[in-house]
Amino acid sequence: MEFLSLTTVEETLDKLATYGSDAALIAGGTHARYMLMSGQTQAKAILHIERLEALGGYALNGSARLGALTNMRQIAENEDIRVRFNSLAIAAGKCGGWQTQSVATIGGNVCAASPSADLLPPLLVLETEIELHSQVRGSRSLSLSDFITGAYQSARAPDEMATAFHLPLPAPRSANRYIKIQRRSAMERPIIGLALSLEMDDSQSHIKTIRIALSGGGPMAFRAVEAEGLLTGQAPETEVLHAAAEAISARCTFRDDARASATYRAAVLPRAFSHAVSECLAAISDNGS
């Protein structure tokens, strides 16, 4: 096994072109090292990319760009992210302890494509695009919904590397929140991780657009598009919110695992959803007043 510490994107893409599926990319290593040590992933070459400085940072330029190596702590503590993309900041701040967050990256969390990844629900409701680079084919951008293809599966080709995430700036009269249901207050994967992005109309009485995404509700994080359809154009009242919660549940394949039973997951989901709606409405109303 080779261990290559890389410092530039070009060098990394060159190694990826050479090794393809025999290469494993590793940044902070909080997930990737465990997978390699336990034999769940195998690699002939470990490409250590933690120090590719070009892939760090957060910048606004019409949309927001987050470098793939931005770590969880940087996301959780960034004031601008906390305001514009609150769901993402909250999810990053709840992903492991600070020791994990200091080195775990957004690129690693997304590319690992875990069914219970904390960052996927917020990134899905924020309509994030992921930027991928390959030495042979150049760059492409994919919506995150197209990128995540299954449990631990993504559309990343073996010679590609995620370099950045692009997030459209939220509309006025909108808010986004992340609700994480967990057994303890920290250091847990979510039993349910629900992200909601809500935009109200000019009068703030009806829903203009709504996006709902969930992790822990099936083999992969997903957008609950049926529920979104039910709520678009509606006033956020009890009956339609209840119907929407049912529609989210209908998309789920809950299962029993060490963290919670399927019955518990089904029972807690509508409450998490209702909580997220209340938080978003309160935030929009605060901003508008």
Partner 1 sequence: MQTTHSVTATINGRAETFEVVGLESLMDVLRNRLHLSGTKEGCREGECGACTVLLDGKPINSCAYIARAAEGREIETIEGLNDDLSYRLKQAIVETGGVQCGYCTPGIIVMLSSLLRRTDAPDEALIREALSGNICRCTGYAQIVDAVLAVIDGNKGAGS
Residue 200's DSSP bridge partners are 207
Closer residue to partner 1 in complex, CB, 105/174: 105
Q: Could you say which of 16, 26, 47, 248 contacts partner 1 (CB under 8 A)?
A: 26
Q: Is 46 in the site for partner 1 (CB under 8 A)?
A: yes
Site map 167..206 versus partner 1, x via CB under 8 A: ------------------xxx-------------------
Q: Is 102 in the site for partner 1 (CB under 8 A)?
A: yes
Q: Which helix (DSSP H) or strand (DSSP E) does residue 6 occupy? A: none
Instruction: Give min distance, CB of 35 to partner 1, in A.
Output: 11
Contact criterion met (CB below 8 Å) for 33 and 103: no
Residue 47's DSSP bridge partners are 4, 25
Question: How far apart are the C-alpha atoms of 126 and 143, rounded to whole Å?
Answer: 10
Chain mean position to CA 287: 25
Q: Is 50 in the site for partner 1 (CB under 8 A)?
A: yes
Q: Is 34 in the site for partner 1 (CB under 8 A)?
A: yes
Q: Is 15 in the site for partner 1 (CB under 8 A)?
A: no
- Measured between its terminal Cα atoms, the distance across the chain in Å is 60
Closer residue to partner 1 in complex, CB, 81/214: 81
Q: Is 112 in the site for partner 1 (CB under 8 A)?
A: no
* 107, 124, 260, 270 from 181: Cα distances, Å: 23, 18, 10, 12
Total residues contacting partner 1 by CB under 8 A comes to: 26
Upper half-sphere CA count for residue 283 (Cβ side, 13 Å): 23
Closer residue to partner 1 in complex, CB, 98/139: 98
